């Protein structure tokens, strides 16, 4: 990786595991802003992963916008009560909802592993895109803060004046003020990225 002052690369060894807010399971926190923030102490945004091994209620997060997608598994139905239901039939299909909503998850065909983005609605706007780069560079962003998670395969991310990083499945790249960013994989590689753009309100 070519290091630059606005690049931060993280891997599984940098993440931390903690209980769910409602105590119903555990989650792996990839990154939280500001550093050292907690779920109870006013975070700006947070990326996490969790193994969903049974159907049940989600934790509530008043004032938080959420985007959830599956990384693997046989499907998950989100029941938001009066706000309707959303079917995640398979991996890499983002669903956006408010953390205030009463939400339950129903497994469709065995355990799943999810990827979760949360942001403070009053201060932050986040956008999530699933990108499947091939042999031709695919654009990412732009955003003041861009978070790139490699969900599958091996991907080369390029930004700025020659800056680049190779990501393997499970790696996360944080870019600050990088401008134009692109991702590329081998033509026959079924790679996939989750790109999270963070914008201040």
**54-63: pLDDT as tens digits:** 899 998 999 9
Q: Quick check: is 6 in a domain?
A: no
103 lies in the same domain as 135: no
134 lies in the same domain as 160: yes
Q: Answer with the one of 121, 147, 167 that is the final residue of a domain.
A: 121
Distance CA(179)–CA(169), nearest Å, equals 24
| 65 three-state secondary structure | strand
Q: Quick check: is 149 in a domain?
A: yes
pLDDT at 1 over 50: no
Q: Answer with the one of 69, 96, 121 that is the final residue of a domain.
A: 121
C-alpha distances (whole Å) from 123 to each of 32, 64, 155 are 15, 10, 31
Distance CA(35)–CA(51), nearest Å, equals 24
24 pLDDT band (50/70/90 cuts)? low
Q: Which domain holds residue 173?
A: 125-200
**111-146: pLDDT as tens digits:** 999 999 999 999 999 999 999 988 888 999 789 999
pLDDT at 22 over 70: no
Q: Quick check: is 132 in a domain?
A: yes
136 lies in the same domain as 60: no
Report the CATH number at residue 147: 2.60.120.10
β-pair partners for 95: 68
pLDDT in the model for residue 182? 93
107 lies in the same domain as 30: yes
The dihedral through the CA atoms of 117, 192, 92, 177 has a sign that is positive
**67-89: pLDDT as tens digits:** 999 999 999 999 999 999 999 99
pLDDT in the model for residue 3? 45
Distance CA(35)–CA(96), nearest Å, equals 24
Distance CA(137)–CA(157), nearest Å, equals 9
113 lies in the same domain as 135: no
Backbone φ and ψ of 81, nearest 5°: 60, -125
116 lies in the same domain as 133: no
User: How many domains would you assign to the chain?
Assistant: 2
pLDDT in the model for residue 4? 44
Q: Quick check: is 46 in a domain?
A: yes
**140-194: pLDDT as tens digits:** 978 999 999 999 999 999 987 768 899 999 999 999 988 789 999 977 778 999 9
Q: Quick check: is 9 in a domain?
A: no
Q: Quick check: is 10 in a domain?
A: no
């Amino acid at each position: 990786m070519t290091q630059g002052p606005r690049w931060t690369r993280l891997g599984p060894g940098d993440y931390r595991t903690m209980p769910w807010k409602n105590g119903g399971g555990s989650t792996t926190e990839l990154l939280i802003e500001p550093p050292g923030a907690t779920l109870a102490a006013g975070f700006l945004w947070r990326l996490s992963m969790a193994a969903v091994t049974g159907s049940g209620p989600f934790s509530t997060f008043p004032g938080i916008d959420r985007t959830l997608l599956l990384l693997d598994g046989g499907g998950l139905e989100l029941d938001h009560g009066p706000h309707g239901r959303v079917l995640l039939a398979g991996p890499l299909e983002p669903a956006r909802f408010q953390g205030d909503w009463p939400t339950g998850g129903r497994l469709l065909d065995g355990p799943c592993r999810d990827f979760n983005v949360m942001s403070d609605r009053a201060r932050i706007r986040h956008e999530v895109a699933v990108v499947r780069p091939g042999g031709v560079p695919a654009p990412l962003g732009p955003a003041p803060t861009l978070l790139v998670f490699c969900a599958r395969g091996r991907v080369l991310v390029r930004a700025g004046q020659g800056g680049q990083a190779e990501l393997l499945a499970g790696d996360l790249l944080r870019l600050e003020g990088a401008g134009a960013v692109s991702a590329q994989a081998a033509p026959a590689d079924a790679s996939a990225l989750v790109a999270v753009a963070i914008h201040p309100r």
